[in-house]
């Protein structure tokens, strides 16, 4: 399990960014997608929004291009934009409104372990298909919903809070799937549409339990951050990603992983056993 933030540039945890979470299941049996043939892993890639702000890949590209143009900006103006966006969004919420344009910036240092994470776009689910989300259910996780992180003065306050938690605590999530029941009101190709729970209530399909551990030792950091690769197309054929944003991710994730490993001069690792993970 890997927690992350979305920007490619290295920023203080106090700057608003969407949150990501990825799970790599190791020891999976079954027919893999052609690009993942011979492997024994299944990746699930989530973020803390139930939809994308862009309906389709070409719209998403425009927002990513804008972010890329400002990637080399200093941290100070990004912090100003972050703080203003958070305050403006909070004001809108007080009068019962939401601002789609500001939503991408509104991520104050709320504890990531209290959040629900979504694929936001659908996957095949055997003969069906649906969207998957990971919901915190143990009391120590639900107690963190909406709570600010520990170490508020730390540049790495989000990371430090997660590491501190897992030094002593066990965490439990439920993995849930919302199956499509209406192609018109639960579209595959428009990632900006939230699927109505009244049309298709989510079903719990698994429990994810994480035991206390040293979550960020240096060997583990190198292995996860610099050698592994998390990709929704690392998948069983039965869980094939669907929709144009997922299809765009196929090339984008490949290119990103190749570039990162080339720059780091590290060989990409796709594990065959959990025993390969360092302490």
Q: What is the pLDDT of residues 219-268, one digit of tens each?
A: 999 999 899 999 999 999 999 999 999 999 999 888 888 888 888 888 88
With contact defined as beta carbons under 8 Å apart, do 236 and 42 qualify?
Answer: yes
Write out pLDDT tens, residues 97-129: 444 333 444 456 789 999 999 999 999 999 999
C-alpha span between 141 and 165 (Å, rounded): 10
Q: What does pTM read for this prediction?
A: 0.84
The pairing of strands 117-118 and 123-125 is unpaired
Please count the other Cβ atoms lying within 10 Å of the Cβ belonging to residue 111: 20
Task: Say what the pLDDT of residue 259 is.
Answer: 86
Better-scored residue on pLDDT, 18 or 139: 139
Rounded to whole angstroms, the Cα distance separating 252 from 8 reads 13
Per-residue pLDDT at 163 exceeds 70: yes
* Spatial distance between the Cα atoms of 40 and 140, rounded to a whole number of angstroms: 32
pLDDT at 107: 55
Out of 11-15, 88-92, 109-113, 166-170, give the one with best mean pLDDT. 166-170
Is 150:186 a contact under the CB 8 Å cutoff? no
Distance of CA 270 to the CA centre of its chain: 19
3-state secondary structure of 178: strand
pLDDT at 76 over 50: no
Paired residues of 124 in beta bridges: 129
161 class by beta-carbon count within 10 Å (0-12 exposed, 13-18 middle, 19+ buried): buried
CA distance 236 to 251: 18
Tens digit of pLDDT for each residue in 25-71? 999 999 999 999 999 999 999 999 999 888 888 877 766 665 556 55
SS3 188: coil
DSSP state letters, 4-62: EES-SS---TTS---EEEEEEEES--SPBPGGGTT--EEEEEEESSSS-SSSSHHHHHH
Cα separation, 245 vs 101, in Å, equals 20
Q: For the segment 202-224, what is each residue's pLDDT rounded down to a tens digit?
A: 999 999 999 999 999 999 999 99
Residue range 77-94: mean pLDDT, rounded? 40
Structural fold of domain 22-58+111-276: Catalase HpII,  Chain A, domain 1 (2.40.180)
Question: Would you give the distance in Å from CA 201 to the centre of its chain?
Answer: 22
- Alpha-carbon span 39 to 188, nearest angstrom: 27
What pLDDT is attached to residue 97?
Answer: 41
C-alpha–C-alpha distance, residues 129 and 196, integer Å: 15
User: Range with the lowest mean pLDDT among 27-36, 62-71, 85-94, 146-155?
Assistant: 85-94
């Amino acid at each position: 399990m890997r927690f992350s933030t979305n920007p490619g540039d290295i920023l203080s945890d106090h700057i608003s960014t969407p949150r990501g979470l990825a799970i790599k299941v190791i020891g999976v049996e079954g027919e893999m997608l052609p690009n993942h043939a011979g492997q024994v892993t299944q990746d699930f890639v989530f973020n803390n929004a139930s939809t994308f702000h862009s309906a389709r890949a070409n719209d998403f590209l425009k927002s990513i291009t804008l972010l890329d143009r400002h990637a080399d900006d200093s941290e100070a103006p990004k912090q100003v934009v972050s703080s203003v966006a958070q305050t403006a969004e909070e004001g809108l919420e007080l009068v019962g409104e939401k601002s789609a344009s500001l939503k991408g910036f509104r991520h104050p240092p709320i504890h990531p372990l209290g959040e629900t994470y979504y694929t936001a776009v659908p996957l095949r689910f055997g003969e069906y298909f649906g969207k998957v989300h990971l919901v915190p259910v143990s009391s120590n996780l639900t107690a963190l919903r909406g709570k600010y992180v520990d170490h508020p003065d730390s540049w790495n306050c989000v990371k430090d809070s997660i590491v501190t938690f897992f030094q002593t605590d066990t965490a439990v999530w439920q993995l849930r799937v919302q199956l499509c029941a209406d192609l018109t009101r639960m579209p595959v190709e428009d990632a900006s549409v939230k699927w109505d729970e009244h049309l298709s209530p989510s079903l719990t399909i698994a429990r994810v339990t994480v035991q206390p551990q040293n979550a960020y030792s240096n060997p583990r950091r190198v292995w996860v951050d610099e050698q592994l690769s998390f990709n929704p197309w690392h998948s069983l054929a039965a869980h094939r990603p669907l929709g144009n944003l997922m299809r765009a991710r196929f090339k984008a994730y490949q290119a990103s992983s190749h570039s990162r490993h080339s720059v780091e001069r590290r060989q990409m690792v796709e594990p065959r056993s959990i025993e390969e993970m360092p302490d």
